[in-house]
Structure 1
Amino acid sequence: MAPTSARPREVTSVLRAVESGLAQGSPTTVWFDHQPYPLAELDRLSNRMASYLAARVKPGDRVGVMARNGLTALLAWWGSAKCGAIVVPYNTSNVGEFLRHQVTDSAPRLLVAQAEFVPELMAGAAGLDVVELIVEGADVAVPGFAGPVVDIDAALAAGDGDYQGPPIDPRDPSHLIYTSGTTGPSKACVVSHSYVCNMALDMVENVERRPSELLWTALPMFHLAAVAHLTGSVLIGASMSLASRFSVRRFWDDIERSGAGIAALMGSMLPMVAQADETEAARRVKGQLRVVSGSPVSADLAALWRERFGVQRVGAGAYGMTEASLITSTPPDQYRAGSAGKENDSFEVRIVDGDGQRVPPGTPGSIVCRPKRPGAMFDGYWRQPEQTLAVFRDLWFNTGDLGRMDEDGYLYFVDRGKDYLRRGGENISSYDMESVLGAHPDIVEVAVHAVPSALNEDEVKVTAVRRAGSALGEHELFEWCHGRVPRYAMPRYIEFRDQLPRNPVGRVLKHKLRAEGLTATTWSAQSSRGPVAEPAGNRPT
């Protein structure tokens, strides 16, 4: 497939989009748990936040945020952007070493959090030069923290609603977004304002979103998809509804109340809703949703959504990652269930073999890409130039995933080349999991790997070797993981062995462990103590 020229697209930022929208009388409204915030109000409140932050942080400083979808998360983002700071959203399910690594690595100058996350966040920030903590919610005490703890309402009241910050170049960093580490600790992608906007417009085009069409999602704002969906709403003058939690039981009530025409889901959310019991709300709104985006989606799952709920299109029909997104998407009226779309105007995409040579159509290989537009992908890993160079070969970005392309140029995902797992819509770093589990005094060796899930994603299995004479049990190890690993990463299965399979140079053969799957000696958390808890921010009910 010969590369095509990209259609011209302005290199811009969400801040410019807000200014333009207000000048044109944009009807954009953002709803948080059904509470409406018109664009003009969000602009004024984020000016107040920016004004308050500007007296405490400099352009380029990081503002760390730990909050569910809501006004606090948005104001921390837009407020940071308007004063030139970089926002760093932390996953609200992260705990212990997972969180401590990210907070320490990003070195925030100031922190913003909801009260429930303050103890864990401040434990992770111990020893850092944090000048202030801004809190939404109840009064909290932070032992050992010398800086002031300020209620967010007080911070907003002290800010200037007419604040004008420094000029912001669209190529300036907007976010640090952490990805799951696969061969080391998790890394932060440096994401520019222009990248967020380009991704947002590609997502708008991918689902052929209309300005009159409200989009509903419970995807968290600590991931890039929700940020891009919200940015896309501002760019096209549309409205959006964000839920603070995902609930299977309340899903159709939320869709009915919001009037949404598009729902953005991911991972296990799609089969859970599709397989849930019928509700009155689902019957009343049948046919209201035109699009339900998300992946992975099989042809059978897509058919179930169409038949039960009258949805015209089911599935993202696109492929991307934090480093580069969207590299493929669906052309207008050409969606194919099960595919990840085609090369778009933002990226050139190839399937290559181990030598970097393009393979014939239908042949699996590595998915590689390079941008056609300026500012269309990440600017590297935060403070890790060697890791940034390592993912490029011959000036092509290697996604680490395997795919194939058909004769028409449609991409089909084949498998992950990276050694990570995906559960509950979250990427899970086996490296981080093994680092934590390896610290248990009775564990000598450990491998964390995927086994298939009935919900189209992965389940987490721990295969470990105990020290000689240890009486450590599976249930005891499972309980030990609480508070040390994120709730979405809690292992579903545990197996103790005398040794782990290795190759001649000593590397653990995880592909063999994955192939063996659930053996006769595998312990299941579900059968022993009920289903493993979902992450608090996205717990199905």
Structure 2
Amino acid sequence: MTTTEADALLPVAQRTLPQMLRRQATRFGDAPAVRIGGQRWRHDDVPRRAAARAGALQAAGIERGDRVAILAGNRAEFLEAFLGCGWAGAVAVPINSASMGPQIEYFLANSQAKLLVIEAQYLPRLATADLARTSLQRIWVLEGEGGTPGVDLPGVVVEAWPAAGEAVAAAEVGPADTLAILYTSGTTGPSKGVLCPHAQYYWWGVNSLRVLGVRGDDVLCTTLPLFHINALNTFAQACLSGAEVAFEGRFSASGFWPAMQACGATVVYLLGAMVPILLAQPEGAAEREHRVRVGLGPGVPGAAGEAFAARTGVRLLEGYGSTETNFVIATAPDSPRGGVMGWVLPGFEARVADEHDAELPDGQAGELLLRAHEPHAFASGYFNMPDKTIEAWRNLWFHTGDRVVREADGALRFVDRIKDAIRRRGENISSFEVEQVLQSHPAVATVAVYPVRSELAEDEVMAALILREGHAPAPQELAEWCEARLPYFAVPRWFDIVDDLPRTENGKVQKYKLRERGVTPTAWERPAQARARRA
């Protein structure tokens, strides 16, 4: 069974999740669709599951437009809750599973979520979240191996994940209606909730299967977390093409190829740092004894991509997209050269611009601006942040904050990030949020958090701190302070106690000078075993 890109195209009004689910049931019937958490779903199972979960949501008081937060690993209930929200016209709010109490509180309060679906192991984190500052009314707990921890959460109804409800008719949602709010790390402020419409999700699927050449007989396999658009997008690809998608629980360097063998994967999804990690493993037969024909590997260093292809026989395609935009730039198996993000895909425009949004000539670095031809193919803004929305979408272009160069043949080459953000292990880290945590330590007077390069050709987090007079905490104490309050990937690797920071004439810290300075001889490095616990 094969499919073509043209088969996946739907009229504008039908570019919604319920229409996608109905279509897949009709076209692909009892063909395998999803493998997740030990469960197997057929294509015609999916809309029934969505309708039944939507019924349970409505029975719990969730109405159209209400937000439902989801904090869980890659398990069937996560996907069922996401699809149920889309079917009912509610809005899913996936939360990074590494989030701690303060971040969880912020996501709940900012999104005004009424219901939280949470895995039992994460319940204790709510002890450091002030739920009275949120709109949360009810919590559904997904049981874990250790049962449900006892957590006192006054004012909130806490109950086990309910059985599927009575199936309900799909809400009459349109392509512009919001399907999900996905949080992307802030750069000079709190994380922003990206309003992702139904049609944007549809186009993520269409563009991805177009780039990867996904067919109905493919098995797509991802180890990436479902709270990111990358993994959620793999379901859209399977839904539109008739392929099967397998969700692994997590990425494991030693277990990656055995997992691909076990599920019969033909298409895989990797992020930049994952490839050097896989290449650092001892060579083995499993790297060749698989069915994988292509992979998506945005941000993979060129030399690592070549070495990966030589060892595994899998060519990784480069690409560019963001939560706010779509899959807009990509290479192809027959691209004339590597070392670039790729070429702009049909349906999109890209401009390399100066600080005034004026287009720059080829070969000159500037900010990447993007826009879409199709309606609602991009996000519609930031939830409850109209000023940030206007700033990002000014002059009818989305401003990515990334500095790129357009080559003479139209290829776009990434240079660096303009925004004050850090990317580590595929995660976007807000320096602002890390600074706020360190600033809350009683011994810290001033702090600047910034990226330095690592041996994996990605960012590592470094903090330069000025201490309050009379205080002299050990760097290990500062690291432990962060570990208790930040996602593991956001905890700085390097801590540098300094007397002063480079500043402008008006006192603003010049982080670019700190980045240029890099790791100093006086910096203390967090022990490797601590960094590796969750990396």
Q: When the two structures are superposed, what TM-score results if normalisation uses the length of structure 1?
A: 0.92
Indicate yes or no: 2:296 matched with 1:293.
Answer: yes
- 1:524/1:196 CA distance change after superposition, 3 Å: same
Counterpart residue type for residue 232 of structure 1: Q
Shift of 1:186: 0.6
Q: Who is 1:4 aligned against?
A: none
- Report if the CA contact (8 A) 1:14-1:235 is conserved: no
Indicate yes or no: 2:254 matched with 1:249.
Answer: yes
SS at match of 1:478: helix
Shift of 1:251: 0.4
Q: What is the aligned counterpart of 2:316 among 309, 314, 317?
A: 314
Query: Structure 1 residues 139-148 or 203-212, which shifts more?
Result: 139-148
Q: Who is 2:444 aligned against?
A: 443
Counterpart residue type for residue 225 of structure 1: N
Counterparts of 1:214 and 1:429 in 2: how far apart (Å)? 35
Shift of 1:30: 0.8
Counterparts of 2:533 and 2:151 in 1: how far apart (Å)? 28
Indicate yes or no: 2:522 matched with 1:532.
Answer: no
Q: Who is 1:44 aligned against?
A: 48
Shift of 1:469: 2.1
- 1:8/1:373 CA distance change after superposition, 3 Å: farther
Q: What is the aligned counterpart of 1:131 among 131, 137, 142?
A: 137
- 1:224/1:111 CA distance change after superposition, 3 Å: same
- Report if the CA contact (8 A) 1:104-1:125 is conserved: no
- Structure 1 unaligned segments of length 5 or more: list them: 1-6
- Report if the CA contact (8 A) 1:208-1:332 is conserved: no
Indicate yes or no: 2:141 matched with 1:141.
Answer: no
Alpha-carbon RMSD across the aligned residues, in angstroms, is 1.8
Q: What is the aligned counterpart of 2:35 among 23, 31, 36?
A: 31
Q: Who is 1:3 aligned against?
A: none
Counterpart residue type for residue 529 of structure 2: G
Q: Who is 2:408 aligned against?
A: 407
Q: What is the aligned counterpart of 1:73 among 49, 69, 78?
A: 78
Q: Who is 1:189 aligned against?
A: 194
- 1:89/1:96 CA distance change after superposition, 3 Å: same
- Report if the CA contact (8 A) 2:275-2:305 is conserved: no
Q: What is the aligned counterpart of 1:203 among 192, 202, 208?
A: 208
Deviation track 1:356-402 (CA, whole Å, cap 9, x = no partner) reads 22112111111011111101100000011111001133222211110
Q: When the two structures are superposed, what TM-score results if normalisation uses the length of structure 2?
A: 0.93
- Report if the CA contact (8 A) 2:25-2:45 is conserved: no
May I ask how many residue pairs the two structures share in their alignment?
520
- Report if the CA contact (8 A) 2:101-2:127 is conserved: no
Q: Who is 2:467 aligned against?
A: 466
SS at match of 1:65: strand
- 1:34/1:407 CA distance change after superposition, 3 Å: farther
- 1:431/1:73 CA distance change after superposition, 3 Å: same
Shift of 1:203: 1.1
Shift of 1:271: 1.0
Moved >4 Å (runs of 4+): none
Counterparts of 2:336 and 2:253 in 1: how far apart (Å)? 26
Counterparts of 1:262 and 1:456 in 2: how far apart (Å)? 24
- 1:9/1:413 CA distance change after superposition, 3 Å: farther
Deviation track 1:296-328 (CA, whole Å, cap 9, x = no partner) reads 1222111111111111x214x221111111222
Indicate yes or no: 2:506 matched with 1:505.
Answer: yes
Counterpart residue type for residue 49 of structure 2: L
Shift of 1:58: 1.0
Counterparts of 2:262 and 2:63 in 1: how far apart (Å)? 41
Counterparts of 1:77 and 1:187 in 2: how far apart (Å)? 20
Structure number with the bigger relative contact order (C-alpha 8 A, sep ≥ 6) is 1
Deviation track 1:468-503 (CA, whole Å, cap 9, x = no partner) reads 121211111111112211111111111000011101
Shift of 1:140: 4.2
Query: Structure 1 residues 435-444 or 324-333, which shifts more?
Result: 324-333
SS at match of 2:180: strand
What does 1:232-247 align with in structure 2 at a 5 Å threshold? 232-247=237-252
- Structure 2 unaligned segments of length 5 or more: list them: 1-7
Shift of 1:515: 0.8
What does 1:79-118 align with in structure 2 at a 5 Å threshold? 79-118=84-123
Q: Who is 1:54 aligned against?
A: 58
